[in-house]
Structure formats: C-alpha cells, structure tokens
Amino acid sequence: MSELKFPPNFSWGVATSAYQIEGAAAEDGRGPSIWDTFSHQPGKTFEGHTGDVACDHYHRYDTDVDLIASLGVDAYRFSISWSRVQPKGHGAWNEKGLAFYDRLVDKLLSKGIKPHVTLYHWDLPQGLQDLGGWGSRDTTDCFADYADVMGRRLGDRVASICTHNEPWCTAHLGHHVGQFAPGNKDPQLAIQVAHHLLLSHGKALQAMRASGVKAPLGIVLNQSSVTAATQSQADRDSAERQYAAFVRWYMDPIFLKRYPTAPGLSIYPTVSENDFNTIAQPLDFLGINYYTRIWASESSPPVPAPNAMGVNDMGWETYPQGLSDLLRQIDRDYDLPPIYITENGFAGDDHLVGGKVADSPRIAYVHTHLAALQQAMEAGVDIRGYFYWSLFDNYEWNSGYAKRFGLVHVDYENQQRTLKDSAHWYSDLIRKGR
Ligand code: IFM
C-alpha cells in the first residue's frame, strides 16, 4: 500500500458521541432525550437495544481517557448530552452533569489530548420534543442558550466547539424516513427541521461569539461524492438532485446564503427574513464526515454500484476516491475555512479471539482513505486533522450493538476493552508520523 506522509502538526484523533457511549441514562439528574424515548419503543431498534448502559463511559471516563492516551492520539472528539446538563432543554441546569464534562475535559488536558466538543449529536432533550422539537422555531433559541452556557463553561479549555453533528441525519433519518429518533415520516417537516437546525447553528455561533468564547467554532456535516450509474439523463439528474439534497442543502445556506435548486427538488422550508444572514456566520473550521459514496441509479432494476474494494458490515461501499473527489469539489465551490475530517470509519464483523481482534479490512479502509486525504491535501485543500470513528465499539443507533466501528473492542457483558489490530496500526502510524 502507498506510503502516507502528513505534516508534523496534523492532528490525529478518535471520536465518539454521548448517547452512543455514556450510559448512566437516568443518573445524577440527567433528563430523558428523544433517543431514550425512541429506543425504548418496541420495534424501533435492533433487538430493542437502548443506550441505557452503552459503554458505561460515564463511570469509566477516567480509565477510558488513559486508553485514548495510550493510542498516541493528540485529539478526542466527543459530544455533550444536552439533557445531562439541562434536563428539559430549557429552564434549570444540572450542575452534576456540567461537572462531568469539566472532569472529562480536565482529564484529557492532563494527558495532553485536545478536547473537541460537539454540542448536538442527535439527542434532543425529550422536554423540548414535547414542545415541538426541531419542528418548532423556538428550539433554535433554546439551542443558542445551551451553546452559550457550554461555550462559557468549556470554551477556554477545549480545542474546538461544533454546533451540530450531521444535521442531515437529524432532519432526514429522524423526520422523513423515521428510522432515527424522534421517528417522524413527514418530508415537509424534515425540510423545516433542517432549516431550524441551520438557523440554530447560526444563532449558537452568534451567542458564543458575543460571549467571547475563545475556542474555534464550526459545524460538522456528513458528505459524500455522488456518482451517476450511467450517462442517461435520468441518472445524471438523480446524481445532481442527490448531491444537492445531501451536500449542497447544508453548504449553500452557510456559504452562499441560499438553498440549492436541482432537477426534481421541490420541497423548501418556510424561511423568515434575515435567516440566511443568521445561518451564514463565519466558521473557524468545517468538519466533514465521510464514509462512502452515493450511487445514483434510476434504472429498473437499478444498476448496482461496483464494489471492487468491498462493503462494510453496514453494506456501505468502500470508496476512498470519493473522499478526495468530494474535498476537491467543495474546495472549488465554496470559500472554505480549514477542514477536519471529523469522522471516517469501518463497521466490521469483528471477533475477540484469544485476546486479539484481527481486523485487517478496517486497516485497509483507513489506509486507503488517508491516502485519498493526502491526495486532496496535495491538490491544495487545507485539512488540519483526522478523527477515526470510533474510539470504541458502541451503540450504533437503530442497529444497536450489532455493528462494530471501534478501534477498541468492547465486550458488553463485562465492559472489557481490547485494542484491535487496527488500534495498534493507527498508533504506529501516528508515532512514526511524528
Ligand atoms: O455512529 C455514527 C455516528 O453517530 C454519526 N456518523 C456515522 C456513524 C456511523 O454510522
């Protein structure tokens, strides 16, 4: 495989999110979130799995940070459980919840690891869902208040704060497809939710800047390159539409103050005067999460995507070239701030055998994606760091614990952590790079 060479100041990290790892769902004053509600409804998640315990990270954060440090990474990306720090999403704050994140940040800093905070990774307080959730414009103001409080509390110690993780998932999977919390199936609502997420991002940035938060501020978007399966007009239109709905729907408002148009895109949100000015706040960085490409085929039966490099356990095609294509495309289309790859990872059919997990497909996945990243950097895209998703095997949303993305294997019977071969490989890569 190709040799990888990254600049000495390039940041190497691992990423997680609160509901996927913390557990302690009803402890120390935490309120319920929409994922607690959703995962406890019969039939919503794989075998009824919930995040009640997850990786028990709330109780094990101290030794978990030691584990992170042992990997040699210099950065850790995690999210705040909003309902842990503000149980209803409005009104009273929970000091015990806030203190947990203080302890986590301080422990990371004591180990020389830069904390990168995500404010919203899909777990809206149920108290706000009861008032209309992201479908209500009022939620955007609650989010700005929450961002302000967290920014004041942690902003002098953390390396970055991002508002949202993958707003497309919240809007589309949560409100159109209904596969994620809160489980709505309403395309018009989903588009309004997407608008409110963007608006809340803009308001949160304004609030944190007004409070003088020192940490760099940004947003994390999930993106893919899109390939038309054939050169037919229908496939090319479909590719244009899917790229607009997935990538441009979030990039255009932030960088160009408008929503995109594309063949077949017909649902737009209600937008109030000045919304685009609020949304288009200058960013200190942009986080990109990349896993696979989108294959656009309108044929019947559809033309299947080639899968010479295989698919992962989620059925997602391994297509590293898409990462490089995507980064060069957005670099051409927008005036971008520095970029971090805030997620990239592989779900594998991993097994703990004799104290080891042999996961060479994950190593190949990371290696080829880093080579693609290097290509984009050589082409001039300003990329400052890479976070592998995920540190641990964890709660993969509606797939429960059945899908394993971690560098570290978790045995959910006894919470034992075991470094997979990929973790050793990633550590070596980072140490040799330095
Ligand atoms: O586990 C998720 C994460 O929460 C958001 N990005 C994609 C990952 C893999 O599906």
In ligand 1, the atom with minimum distance to the C-alpha of 343 is: 6
Q: Are 349 and 310 in contact (CB under 8 A)?
A: no
Is 273 part of the annotated catalytic residue set?
no
pLDDT at 108: 99
Beta strands in 356-415 (DSSP E): 383-389, 408-411
Say whether the peptide bond before residue 182 is cis (omega within 30 degrees of 0).
Answer: yes
pLDDT at 1: 60
Exactly one of 22, 240, 298, 343 is catalytic; name it: 343
Domains for the chain: give ranges and CATH numbers. 11-433 (3.20.20.80)
User: Could you tell which of 343, 393, 401 is best to mutate to test the pocket of ligand 1, judged by most ligand atoms within 8 Å of the CB?
Assistant: 343
Report how far residue 204's alpha carbon sits from residue 188's, in angstroms, rounded to the nearest whole number.
24
- Looking up tokens 């101290």, which residue turns up? 62
Token pair of 141, please?
């103001």
Beta bridge partners of 419: 408
The number of C-alpha atoms within 13 Å of 186 and in the hemisphere containing its C-beta is 11
CA angle 292, 298, 304 (to 5 degrees): 50
Report which secondary-structure segment, H or E, holds 12: strand 11-15
Report how far residue 39's alpha carbon sits from residue 50's, in angstroms, rounded to the nearest whole number.
5
Alpha helices in 117-248 (DSSP H): 126-129, 138-154, 167-168, 174-175, 187-210, 233-243
Measured in residues, the chain has a length of: 434
Which residues have CB under 6 Å of ligand 1?
17, 20, 166, 289, 343, 389, 396, 405
* φ, ψ at 46 (rounded to 5°): -55, 120
In ligand 1, the atom with minimum distance to the C-alpha of 121 is: 4
* DSSP secondary structure of 282-295: --SEEEEE----EE
Is 378 part of the annotated catalytic residue set?
no
Q: Are 392 and 406 in contact (CB under 8 A)?
A: yes
Which residue's alpha carbon is at the smallest distance from atom 10 of ligand 1?
396
User: Could you tell which of 78, 179, 388, 389 is best to mutate to test the pocket of ligand 1, judged by most ligand atoms within 8 Å of the CB?
Assistant: 389
Instruction: Report the chain (434 residues): mean pLDDT per 10 consecutive residues.
Output: 88 99 98 99 98 98 98 98 99 98 98 99 98 98 99 98 98 98 98 99 99 98 98 98 98 98 98 98 99 97 94 98 98 98 98 98 98 98 98 98 98 98 98 85
Q: Are 108 and 114 in contact (CB under 8 A)?
A: yes
CA angle 154, 143, 93 (to 5 degrees): 60
State how far the alpha carbon of 318 is from the alpha carbons of 242, 369, 383, in Å.
19, 9, 21
Say whether the peptide bond before residue 301 is cis (omega within 30 degrees of 0).
Answer: yes
State how far the alpha carbon of 124 is from the alpha carbons of 47, 57, 129, 198, in Å.
23, 20, 7, 15
* Beta strand 408-411 pairing with 416-419: antiparallel
pLDDT at 14: 99
User: Could you tell which of 168, 223, 397 is best to mutate to test the pocket of ligand 1, judged by most ligand atoms within 8 Å of the CB?
Assistant: 397
In ligand 1, the atom with minimum distance to the C-alpha of 390 is: 1
pLDDT at 433: 82
* pTM of structure: 0.98
Question: Quick one: 335 exposed, middle or buried, by C-beta within 10 A (0-12, 13-18, 19+)?
Answer: exposed
In ligand 1, the atom with minimum distance to the C-alpha of 394 is: 1
CB neighbours of residue 5 within 10 Å: 10
Q: Are 181 and 38 in contact (CB under 8 A)?
A: yes
Report how far residue 95's alpha carbon sits from residue 87's, in angstroms, rounded to the nearest whole number.
11
Exactly one of 22, 166, 240, 298 is catalytic; name it: 166
- Residue 6 CA, chain-centre distance (Å), reads 23
Token pair of 23, please?
């557990």
Report how far residue 229's alpha carbon sits from residue 235's, in angstroms, rounded to the nearest whole number.
6
Which residue's alpha carbon is at the smallest distance from atom 4 of ligand 1?
17
How far does the centroid of ligand 1 lie from the alpha carbon of residue 178, in Å?
Answer: 16
Which residue's alpha carbon is at the smallest distance from atom 2 of ligand 1?
396
pLDDT at 434: 74
How far does the centroid of ligand 1 lie from the alpha carbon of residue 212, in Å?
Answer: 31
Q: Are 117 and 79 in contact (CB under 8 A)?
A: yes
